[in-house]
Chains A and B, each alone.
Chain A
Amino acid sequence: MNHRLVTFDHIGIEFSGRSLLNNIEMTIDEGEIVTLIGPNGSGKSTLIRILLGLQEPTKGQVIRDKALRIGYMPQKLHIDPTLPLTVKHFLALVRGVDKKQIIPTLEKVGIAHLINSQVQVLSGGETQRVLLARALLNCPNLLVLDEPVQGVDVNGQVELYNLIEGIRNELHCGVLMVSHDLHLVMAKTDTVVCINQHVCCSGSPQHVTGHPAYQALFGVPGADESIAIYSHQHDHVHDEHGSILSDDRDVHSHCSHEQS
């Protein structure tokens, strides 16, 4: 029985009378990989911010383990051009950092050669790796990754997913990954949670290992082991404003998901 790290207990949040999140219940355990998916405007980012303590929910609470240490990898990093900052100095800013871990961590994420580069000149992919390194340097037992493979090609996705799995195996940490893709998730995900202001459905992804047609689709060897399909199980549809229409399975067009 794995140690429970985080419980979302009936989380709700309202902004000027509009409800952004409603009755969210979710858990993350040590060693578990949870992928959070949902369309734009579903409240995924807000839920993450609530978990990180950057925003307070209006209803419910987040029950955190006492020894919880979060490593947060945001989507983007913007550093003012007036601030000269190398990758090394950026990483040294982690609270309570063990400076001796900086180089090994950079090697783990594959960008040790960038240690003295200015952070503003890094490419998107390199910046992501730096952000991942920073999250790791906080000695986390929960990694929170915000859309880590957005805009990354399949090769890059496979590589990154393998890296994340390796980190999970080594640290036995929990991983909460927010994904922009509604259908394809990291294969090693333990639980997929689909939200659109509330929890629409959750379950495990389908592995299609060895299926030749799937392999051909991506043209990348090993893709079938790193990327999997998630089939949604919805008993409702949402209209274009996000509110739920009554159980009407015929009205696919209003829902931003495809019915499986």
Chain B
Amino acid sequence: MLEFLIRALLGGLGVAAVAGPLGAFVVWRRMAYFGDTLAHSALLGVALGFLFNINLNLAIVVLCVGLAAILVTLQKKNIIATDTLLGILAHSALSLGLVAVSFLDNIRIDLMAYLFGDLLAVSQTDLYWIYGGGIVVLALLIGFWKPLLAVTVNEELAKVEGYPVEAIRLLLMLLVAVVIAVAMKIVGVLLITSLMIIPAATARKLSHTPVQMASISSIIGCLAVCGGLWASYHWDTPTGPSVVVCAALLFLIAYTSPLKRRAA
């Protein structure tokens, strides 16, 4: 009976563990809006998946990764992906996805599940995707930690020292795309960025070094998942939003507590 809860917990923890360090990079590089664009567009991936009868998880990953590559190319050609352009892409893709899905009247789609997540319906297959994708992302993050951090801290110095700056930027965007695709199940398209940036922002107050901030971010994310699941189970609240509320509460506690702020 409790199997679904255990799967939900495992799924949530898996995503939180990976969203933590990636969220730190999203915060450091001010990519939150970029992440949001990818997330909104993920719904288009769902529609395309249904239309072409492809495995949904795969369709979403392919779309997110493809869009990330396009955005990186735009950036390289100095067609800057400003707020406005990102907003246009994000909302157009989301709406296109919703409209396309409405035409598929032979398939019942629970829109709420895609928009806000359906953590309690995590299946065994979903867990494979989450942990499979998660391990790959974490391995790449750890393996390329120094170049990723060097390029984030100061791109020019990194370039002069010989780091492959553009390849690293692309890698980061791809990692964000994969995490978004995989985490959609947990908190849905509209909230996935919050699961990345809120724990990272909370961890900022408690960290001295980048590694600390990335690790503590994971822990905070996991705590939020536990809290959110518990609230959802006891008070029948929607799980995805409950996890985010929990994360927001942790953020508030960290920033209003009398603990001395570490570093300016």
A residues lining the B interface (CB < 8 Å): 52-54, 70, 72, 74, 77, 79-86, 89-90, 93-95, 118, 120-121, 134, 138
**Residue of chain A at shortest CB distance from B208:** A84
CA gap between A85 and B210 in the complex, in Å: 7
Beyond the given A82-B201, A84-B209, A86-B208, please list 16 additional residue pairs across the A-B interface where CB-CB is below 8 A.
A52-B159, A53-B159, A54-B159, A70-B160, A79-B153, A80-B30, A83-B28, A83-B153, A83-B213, A85-B210, A89-B209, A89-B210, A93-B149, A93-B150, A93-B153, A121-B264
Residues of A within 8 A of B210 (CB): 83-85, 89
Contacts A53-B160, A72-B160, A94-B161 known; A84 to B207 CB distance under 8 Å? yes
Interface majority SS on A: helix, strand, loop or mixed? loop
Residues of B within 8 A of A138 (CB): 160-161
Contact between B27 and A82, CB atoms less than 8 A apart: yes
Tell whether B163 is near chain A: CB-to-CB under 8 Å.
Answer: yes
**Residue of chain A at shortest CB distance from B211:** A89
CA gap between A81 and B264 in the complex, in Å: 8
A134 contact from B157, B201, B264, Cβ within 8 A: B157
Across chains A and B, the number of contacting residue pairs, with CB separation under 8 Å, is: 67
CA gap between A86 and B28 in the complex, in Å: 15
7 A-B residue pairings within 8 Å (CB atoms): A52-B159, A74-B156, A80-B28, A81-B264, A83-B152, A84-B207, A85-B153
Residues of B within 8 A of A82 (CB): 27-28, 201, 204
Contact between B263 and A118, CB atoms less than 8 A apart: yes
CA gap between A74 and B158 in the complex, in Å: 12
Contact between A72 and B264, CB atoms less than 8 A apart: no
**Residue of chain A at shortest CB distance from B28:** A83
Q: How far is the CB of B123 from chain A (nearest CB, A)?
A: 36
Contact between B157 and A74, CB atoms less than 8 A apart: yes
For chain B, residues 213 to 264, give those with C-beta under 8 angstroms from any C-beta of chain A.
213, 262-264
